[in-house]
Structures are given as structure tokens and as C-alpha cells.
């Protein structure tokens, strides 16, 4: 089956929000991690318990091949992407946009920037896993990610309810 072309292949990002800047950090830069924690607190529904703690984020940031990209509007943090790579594969661990800034192309800009950064590093595929009800699935599919499989009951909400996880992958080879 032919692979769909990666949406970031042409190197363009539609910026719908004036003043949007993206900056990538490869080490545990404290201000960047604080920005990510602030965004997580607003972006992730506490009912699902998906937000990480600062020690979790700091621990991942010490791993080789990990990068954190912060999206800012006029210097204020509004979104972030966290990616970890091993050899020629990587995983999008977290992608979040503050609720007040959703629908303005920030998530798309972060995702496409993550794909371009991965390609520049010689990475040939990116994986991600998401709760089956997550509205960002449309964004991932639009970017060229393909559904791989479902993990029934993988996530447990704070209320004890189980939620399926969906795995997606994009191959970035042309």
C-alpha cells in the first residue's frame, strides 16, 4: 500500500495566529519546562489524569534525543510538543495547546515543526498514542499519520473508567 506523504514535506506551516513563535529546547531548560507545565495545567482535562508532573518532564528531558518545543504568542506560552527519539524512530509524547488558543493553527504548527525537526535529525518515522476520544486525532490524520491499532481499556480516568488508546504512525521517507 502506498504511504501518504508527510504533510510537513513541503516545509510550510500555515500560521493563522500573528505573533506565533516556536522555540525548541534539547536540555532541561527550567523556564521552558515551567512553560510546558503551565500549559499542561490548562490544556489537559483533570478527569483523565494525563498531565505530567515536573519531575516526570525533567526526567524525560535528560534522555538523549528528547526535545521540547514551546509555542508563544507575543512571548506568552500557549502550546508545546514533547518528542523523544531513539535511532531512526521517534514518539510524540505530548502535544498541548491552551484552550483559549485552540483552533488557530498552533497545534498544527507544533506538529509540523516536530516532523521537520525529526526529519532533519535523520528520523524516518514518528509514533504517537492518544485516547480514542481525543479531538486531536483529526489533526494527526490531516498531517499524514495512519492508524496502527487500538488498545482497549489502556487509560484509566480518575473516576476509574477505562478508555481505549489509539496508536498512529507516520513514515517520513519519500
Q: Which of 76, 134, 83 is nearest to 101 (CA)?
A: 76
* pLDDT value of residue 50: 79
Q: What are the tens digits of pLDDT across the range 102-157?
A: 999 999 999 999 999 999 999 999 999 999 999 999 999 999 999 999 999 998 88
Q: What are the tens digits of pLDDT across the range 59-70?
A: 999 999 999 999
Question: Going by DSSP bridges, is the β-strand pair 125-131/89-97 parallel, antiparallel, or unpaired?
Answer: parallel
Q: What are the tens digits of pLDDT across the range 73-108?
A: 999 999 999 999 999 999 999 999 999 999 999 999
For residue 10, the SS3 value is helix
Q: Domains in the chain, please, with CATH?
A: 7-171 (3.40.630.30)
Residues ≥6 apart with Cβ < 8 Å to 81: 68, 69, 92, 94, 95, 110, 111, 113, 114
Of the listed 25, 108, 140, 155, which one is catalytic?
Answer: 140
Torsion of CA 26, 130, 50, 97, to 10 degrees: 60
Verify whether residue 140 is a known catalytic residue: yes
Verify whether residue 154 is a known catalytic residue: no
Q: How many CB atoms lie within 10 A of CB 46?
A: 10
**By the 8 A CB rule, do 128 and 160 touch?**
no
Q: Which of 36, 37, 48, 8 is nearest to 134 (CA)?
A: 48
* Alpha carbon distances (Å) from 13 to 32, 40, 98, 106, 151: 22, 23, 19, 10, 32
Of the listed 29, 38, 50, 129, which one is catalytic?
Answer: 129
Could you tell me the sign of the dihedral formed by the alpha carbons of 46, 50, 52, 53, in that order?
positive
Task: For residue 103, give the C-alpha cell.
Answer: 483552533
Amino acid at each position: 500500500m502506498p504511504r501518504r506523504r508527510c504533510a510537513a514535506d513541503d516545509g510550510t506551516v500555515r500560521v493563522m495566529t500573528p505573533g506565533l513563535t516556536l522555540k525548541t529546547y534539547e536540555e532541561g531548560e527550567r523556564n521552558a519546562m515551567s512553560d510546558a507545565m503551565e500549559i499542561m495545567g490548562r490544556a489537559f482535562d483533570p478527569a483523565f489524569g494525563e498531565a505530567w508532573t515536573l519531575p516526570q518532564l525533567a526526567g524525560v528531558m535528560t534522555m538523549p534525543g528528547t526535545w521540547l518545543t514551546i509555542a508563544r504568542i507575543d512571548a506568552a506560552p500557549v502550546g508545546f510538543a514533547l518528542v523523544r527519539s531513539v535511532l531512526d524512530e521517534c514518539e510524540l509524547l505530548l502535544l498541548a495547546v491552551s484552550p483559549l488558543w485552540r483552533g488557530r493553527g498552533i497545534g498544527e504548527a507544533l506538529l509540523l515543526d516536530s516532523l521537520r525537526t525529526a526529519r532533519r535529525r535523520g528520523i524516518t518515522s514518528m509514533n504517537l498514542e492518544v485516547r480514542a476520544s481525543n479531538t486531536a486525532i483529526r489533526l494527526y490524520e490531516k498531517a499524514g499519520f495512519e492508524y496502527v491499532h487500538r488498545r482497549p481499556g489502556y487509560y484509566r480516568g480518575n473516576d476509574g473508567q477505562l478508555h481505549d488508546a489509539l496508536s498512529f504512525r507516520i513514515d517520513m521517507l519519500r
